[in-house]
């Protein structure tokens, strides 16, 4: 008798999946934008419809994920310096 092995295979066609390539593309676009000051963290000044909260501190990676779906002009940010 043969035992059945676990044949579970995760669905690789997950919609809206964020890939490293997508994040790299967004990062390149930010690098080309001379009016945007990049930082490790940002303070959200005006969240708009972004889902962030006013005065929330977000990491650069979270901004990249957000920008992979939305435009930079949809949220107002300031670079945040924590010491």
pLDDT digits (tens, 9 = 90+) for 35-62: 999 999 999 999 888 889 999 999 999 9
DSSP secondary structure code for residue 43 in this structure: E
**Token pair for 38:** 């990049």
Burial-class residue 35 by CB neighbours within 10 Å (0-12, 13-18, 19+): exposed
State yes or no: pLDDT of 23 exceeds 50.
Answer: yes
Domain boundary assignment for the chain: 20-80
Give 17 or 34, the one with higher predicted confidence.
34
State yes or no: pLDDT of 3 exceeds 60.
Answer: no
Are 77 and 43 contacting, i.e. CB atoms less than 8 angstroms apart?
yes
Q: Residue 83: its pLDDT value, please?
A: 64
pTM for this entry: 0.73
Nearest one of 72, 68, 16, 79 to 44, comparing CA atoms: 79
Average pLDDT over the chain reads 81
DSSP secondary structure code for residue 26 in this structure: H
Strand spans (E) along 1-83: 41-46, 57-59, 76-80
Mean pLDDT calculated for residue range 11-33: 76
Mean pLDDT calculated for residue range 2-31: 65
């Amino acid at each position: 008798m043969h035992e059945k092995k676990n044949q579970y295979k995760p669905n690789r066609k997950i919609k809206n999946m964020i890939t490293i390539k997508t994040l790299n593309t967004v990062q390149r676009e930010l690098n080309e934008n001379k009016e945007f000051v990049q930082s490790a963290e940002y303070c959200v000044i005006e969240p708009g419809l972004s889902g962030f909260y006013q005065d929330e501190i977000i990491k650069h990676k979270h901004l990249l994920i957000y920008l992979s779906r939305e435009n930079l002009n949809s949220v107002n940010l300031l670079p945040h310096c924590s010491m």
